[in-house]
């Protein structure tokens, strides 16, 4: 994104922020935002926390991860495809959105594109009259899920890949997808960018300049013009960023800000993306992508290698619990349905998470703080335990540290603690600790760096009747809008 476009986007975000109710409690309080803040759409996206990916194409039938581009469309022939099953499973698992591989690197399109013969229109599925993108989007709508689409920038089938003509083709496909299926919530771009392929029969290796070839500024502008409400994912955003690995976890320190100008899509520093940048000029929501299986596409040989519910719970803590959105891939099998093993793992994962966070043990505590913004009751410590993400405690103006303390009605035993910042005002905390008290003694339970939208701490089982959160360092007056104490389900 060009500096001008980026500055315009940020100015728009701040303008939109000004239109939101700056409610810290029962009265409006002019709480000052940081210089870099998320757009309202980014805040809403991060609150989804858990979304899904559907990897499905000719690779499912050739038992490959990356197709070469010479696969015959005739291999694409799912026997019992049911996008409604995908959406129902995802919804019951707590996902709020599904993203589909509308075209992977092999170039085969899951919709009847007018720009290529390498599509479902040339397959036996639905007698060549099928449109999987349409079935996918309509199924999501029926189940209350948002829809995202992935269109691989690399195309190992197309003869023009590597030349300027391919960019016209690629943008033409984007136009088809973003004008033919109603509202699209997310457009997903990855960094795959060239190598050996079929390329219309050339069967050769082609390399591109990943910094310039795709003209990402122009491609992003096209998406904005066709789907103004869609958020865009890539290494550099502009709205959502890759976390730097495909293992599904962020760093212990994870800032939502980066300097997108220094990030090359397909050539980014994974460590930089994994931790973010406290001085970054751009708010780009971090997203952790991982598959429920070793591969991204279905392979029968992996039916007994589905991640266990406990592994999925661990990923949740290391993604959602570290200021990220978790993107979990669910690959349909050759029937076109999700496998029972995947469904069972997801179902048990959801049960454990729901059981763990069903009861907030801090409810009913007496809350105090060493300071509050403007001395107003509407920014008092009680707002941090009122189960309302639109209210918060804030330290006094000019403070870069603060303490909130909670006296519980009776001792409670817990082993999970959840902290949240009101991120619409920016991300502030860079160092904190949590202490538990019983009698006159205080014990440090955990130390951490960033918080962001959500930080979940796994701690040793502790019994206490007092809790305090000590913000040791922040880049502005620290603020917390939710604090929770929980007891993990026995199975987790």
Please say which residue of 337, 356, 375 terminates a domain.
356
Within-domain flag for 20: no
Residues 388 and 348 in one domain: no
Q: What is the pLDDT of residues 229-243, one digit of tens each?
A: 999 999 999 999 999
Residues 217 and 137 in one domain: yes
Residues 415 and 378 in one domain: yes
324 pLDDT above the threshold of 80: yes
Residues 222 and 113 in one domain: yes
Residues 88 and 232 in one domain: yes
pLDDT of residue 19: 33
Residues 153 and 201 in one domain: yes
Within-domain flag for 73: yes
Please say which residue of 326, 356, 386 terminates a domain.
356
Query: Residue 14's pLDDT band (boundaries 50, 70, 90)?
Result: very low
Residues 381 and 287 in one domain: no
Within-domain flag for 19: no
Q: Are strands 429-438 and 455-474 parallel, antiparallel or unpaired?
A: antiparallel
Q: Report the pLDDT averaged over residues 347-367.
A: 97
Q: Do 363 and 385 touch, CB atoms closer than 8 A?
A: yes
Residues 314 and 168 in one domain: yes
Q: What is the pLDDT of residues 56-112, one digit of tens each?
A: 999 999 999 999 999 999 999 999 999 999 999 999 999 999 999 999 999 999 999
pLDDT of residue 375: 64
Q: Report the pLDDT averaged over residues 124-135.
A: 98
Looking at the structure of the chain, the number of domains it has is: 2
Within-domain flag for 12: no
Within-domain flag for 2: no
Residues 106 and 131 in one domain: yes
Residues 379 and 351 in one domain: no
Host domain of residue 219: 31-356
Within-domain flag for 7: no
């Amino acid at each position: 994104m060009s500096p001008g476009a980026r500055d315009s986007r940020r100015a728009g975000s701040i303008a939109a922020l000004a239109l939101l109710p700056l409610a810290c409690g029962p009265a409006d309080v002019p709480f000052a935002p940081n210089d870099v803040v998320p757009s309202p759409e980014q805040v809403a996206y991060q609150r989804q926390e858990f979304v899904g990916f559907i990897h499905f194409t000719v690779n499912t039938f050739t038992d490959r991860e990356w197709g070469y581009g010479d696969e015959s469309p005739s291999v694409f022939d799912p026997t019992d495809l049911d996008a409604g099953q995908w959406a129902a499973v995802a919804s019951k698992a707590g996902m709020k959105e599904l993203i589909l591989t509308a075209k992977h690197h092999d170039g085969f399109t899951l919709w009847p594109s007018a720009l290529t013969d390498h599509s479902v229109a040339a397959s036996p599925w639905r007698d060549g009259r099928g449109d999987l993108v349409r079935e996918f989007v309509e199924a999501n709508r029926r189940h209350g899920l948002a829809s995202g689409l992935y269109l691989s920038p690399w195309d190992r089938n197309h003869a023009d890949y590597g030349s300027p003509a391919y960019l016209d083709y690629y943008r033409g496909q984007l136009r088809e997808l973003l004008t033919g299926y109603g509202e699209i919530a997310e457009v997903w771009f990855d960094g795959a960018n060239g190598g050996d392929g079929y390329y219309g029969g050339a069967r050769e290796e082609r390399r591109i300049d990943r910094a310039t070839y795709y003209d990402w500024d122009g491609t992003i502008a096209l998406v904005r013009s066709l789907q103004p409400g869609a958020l865009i994912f890539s290494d550099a955003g502009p709205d959502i960023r890759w976390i730097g690995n495909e293992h599904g976890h962020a760093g212990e320190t994870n800032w939502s800000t980066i300097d997108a100008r220094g990030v090359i899509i397909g050539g980014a520093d994974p460590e930089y993306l994994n931790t973010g940048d406290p001085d970054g000029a751009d708010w780009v929501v971090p997203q952790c992508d991982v598959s429920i299986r070793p591969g991204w596409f279905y392979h029968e040989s992996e039916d007994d290698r589905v991640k266990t519910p406990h592994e999925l719970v661990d990923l949740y803590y290391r993604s959602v619990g570290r200021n990220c959105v978790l993107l979990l891939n669910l690959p349909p099998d050759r029937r076109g349905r999700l496998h029972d093993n995947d469904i069972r793992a997801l179902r048990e994962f959801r049960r454990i998470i729901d059981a763990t966070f069903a009861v907030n043990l801090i409810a009913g505590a007496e809350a105090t703080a060493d300071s509050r913004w403007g001395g107003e009751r509407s920014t008092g410590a009680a707002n941090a335990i009122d189960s309302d993400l639109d209210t918060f405690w804030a330290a006094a103006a000019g403070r870069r540290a603060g303490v909130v303390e909670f006296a519980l009605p009776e001792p409670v035993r817990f082993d999970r603690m959840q902290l949240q910042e009101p991120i619409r005002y920016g991300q502030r905390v860079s160092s904190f600790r949590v202490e538990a008290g019983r009698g006159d003694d205080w014990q440090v339970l955990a130390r951490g760096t960033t918080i962001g939208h959500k930080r979940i701490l796994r701690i040793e089982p502790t019994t206490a009747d007092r809790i305090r959160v000590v913000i040791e360092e922040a880049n502005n007056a620290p603020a917390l809008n939710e604090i929770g104490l929980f007891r993990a389900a026995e199975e987790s």
